[in-house]
Amino acid sequence: MENRDKLMKEIGENEMAFPLTFKEWEDVAKEKMITGGYQYVSKGAGSEETAKRNRTALEKWSIIPRMLNDVSTVDVTTELLGNKYASPFLLSPIGMQKLAHTNGEIATAQACKKFMVPFILSTVSSCSIEEVAEVSNGPKWFQLYWSHENPEVSYSMIHRAEKAGYEAIVVTVDTVMAGWREGDMKAGFSPLSLGYGSGNYKTDPVFMASLKDKEEQSIIEEILTHIQHPQLTWDAIAEIKKRTTLPIILKGILHKEDALLAVKYGVDGIIVSNHGGRQLDGVIASIDALAEIKEVIDKQIPILFDSGVRRGVDAVKALAIGADAVCIGRPYLYGLAAHGKVGVEKVIERFIQETEVTLGLAGIARLAEIERLGMKREK
């Protein structure tokens, strides 16, 4: 309790210079980013039905708190894949972070290290697997966009991640092709075409050796070809599993049958996610999918969650519904755009603080006991 009071006082006294709400972070980020870049980050696909639904659905879920428990300390430590973490948070993979800040993923990884929050580095990051590992010995996972064009490039990246000390491979399965993003189409904007996402490709020996033409524009075109992977199937997942000793997590699972297939194929965890409404528009809110998937998975493998999480209360709802951990997406990217490494640190810190306060008020002293909470969804 004393700790929490101290933190609240610090926020009040020293930190008012930093934005506090998601909207405030977004407003500062919008001012600092180039117009096309901000639009690329903030918008959803199609008519943004799903991007909006992620929020409305989260707001429809209510916490039914417990009373008369000693919550003088709130323990948010979390166990995941055999590791103990200080909080239930990870940072979702977000590509091309130099679009938000010149230090890109380097700044984000350093901020994560401060809180020992796992950073999931994107395949299409501005900084390479090794550059990020050099600046941060905090927990790091690597997100893979499967390359059907040349699977050896994917295995090479997995191998590099393993060698550089990354703890898990996250295979994103909802991005077999680019989403229907009308804002980017109208503006003719693509950070990939501008070369922001080439960090891991330009440093990959297998990818570079496969190129006939090493001119900048051809490299970028090849990268674009590699990222699209409409042929990805469960067999490729089985093959990836054979090629690494690292745990494999599938990101982008929404259907309970796919969650069960993930178990069948020996996958080590899933991230229930609709990519923040950026891929298939019209799909179920991530939080509603979580409720269904939790029922069938029944603790066989860890379930992580993202899409629409904007504050600690959202995270507590997801954890109470059945997530083992929660990934923060756009909020940290806005922190990065607004104030670089310190911005990301502030965003993470406040997520943790608000989660502690929420759990305390809900009568939960240890995150491990969150199942004691009731959860109700309005129609």
Ligand X SMILES: CCCCCCC(=O)C(=O)O
Q: Which residues are catalytic?
A: 275
Of positions 45, 58, 76, 94, contacts ligand FMN by CB under 6 A: 94
Calpha distance 196→282 (Å, rounded): 29
Nearer to ligand X by C-beta: 122 or 355? Answer: 122
Nearer to ligand X by C-beta: 148 or 339? Answer: 148
Q: Per CB under 6 A, does 147 bind ligand FMN? A: no
- The token pair at 225 is 């070809």
What is the footprint of ligand X within residues 158-197 (CB under 6 A)?
Answer: 175, 177-178
Calpha distance 161→131 (Å, rounded): 11
Give the contact letters, 279-318, x = binds to ligand FMN (CB under 6 A), - = no: ---------------------------xxxx---------
Residue 120 and residue 141 in contact, taking contact as beta carbons nearer than 8 Å? yes
Give the contact letters, 215-234, x = binds to ligand X (CB under 6 A), - = no: ------------xx------
Shortest distance, position 172 Cβ to ligand FMN, whole Å? 4
Of positions 19, 44, 95, 340, contacts ligand X by CB under 6 A: 95
CA dihedral 165, 94, 225, 286 (to 10 degrees): 110
Shortest distance, position 200 Cβ to ligand FMN, whole Å? 10
What is the footprint of ligand FMN within residues 117-136 (CB under 6 A)?
Answer: 122, 124
Start-end of H helices in the chain: 2-14, 22-32, 35-42, 49-60, 104-115, 129-135, 151-163, 182-187, 199-202, 205-210, 216-227, 234-243, 256-264, 286-297, 312-321, 330-361
Of positions 98, 241, 275, 341, contacts ligand FMN by CB under 6 A: 275
Nearer to ligand X by C-beta: 86 or 185? Answer: 185
Nearer to ligand FMN by C-beta: 143 or 147? Answer: 143
Residue 175 and residue 275 in contact, taking contact as beta carbons nearer than 8 Å? yes
User: In sequence order, what are the residues at sequence separation of 6 or more whose Cβ sits closer than 8 angstroms to the Cβ of residue 248?
Assistant: 168, 169, 171, 237, 240, 241, 267, 268, 269
Nearer to ligand X by C-beta: 148 or 275? Answer: 275
Calpha distance 71→75 (Å, rounded): 9
Q: Per CB under 6 A, does 251 bind ligand FMN? A: yes
**Amino acid symbol at 3:** N
Calpha distance 96→85 (Å, rounded): 26
Q: What single string gives the DSSP state of each residue in 164-231? A: TT---EEEE-S-SS----HHHHHHT--TTTTTTT-HHHHT-HHHHHH-S--SHHHHHHHHHHHH--TT
Of positions 278, 310, 339, 341, contacts ligand X by CB under 6 A: 278
Shortest distance, position 178 Cβ to ligand FMN, whole Å? 11
Nearer to ligand FMN by C-beta: 219 or 227? Answer: 227
Q: Per CB under 6 A, does 39 bind ligand X? A: no
Q: Which stretch binds ligand FMN (CB under 6 A): 15-23, 91-99, 288-296, 352-360?
A: 91-99
Residue 154 and residue 182 in contact, taking contact as beta carbons nearer than 8 Å? no
From ligand FMN, ligand X, none, interface partner of 342 (C-beta below 5 to 8 A by class): none
Of positions 190, 273, 353, 358, contacts ligand FMN by CB under 6 A: 273
Nearer to ligand X by C-beta: 148 or 350? Answer: 148
What is the footprint of ligand FMN within residues 176-235 (CB under 6 A)?
Answer: none
Q: Which stretch binds ligand FMN (CB under 6 A): 71-79, 108-116, 237-245, 275-283?
A: 275-283
What's 146's DSSP letter?
-
Calpha distance 330→275 (Å, rounded): 11
Q: What single string gives the DSSP state of each residue in 306-342? A: -SS--SHHHHHHHHHHT-SEEEE-HHHHHHHHHHHHH
Q: Please calculate the CA angle 201-204-210 and round it to the nearest 5 degrees.
A: 90
Shortest distance, position 111 Cβ to ligand X, whole Å? 21
- For ligand FMN, the binding residues (CB under 6 A) are 41, 92-95, 122, 124, 143, 172, 251, 273, 275-276, 278, 306-309, 329-330
- For ligand X, the binding residues (CB under 6 A) are 95, 124, 175, 177-178, 227-228, 275, 278
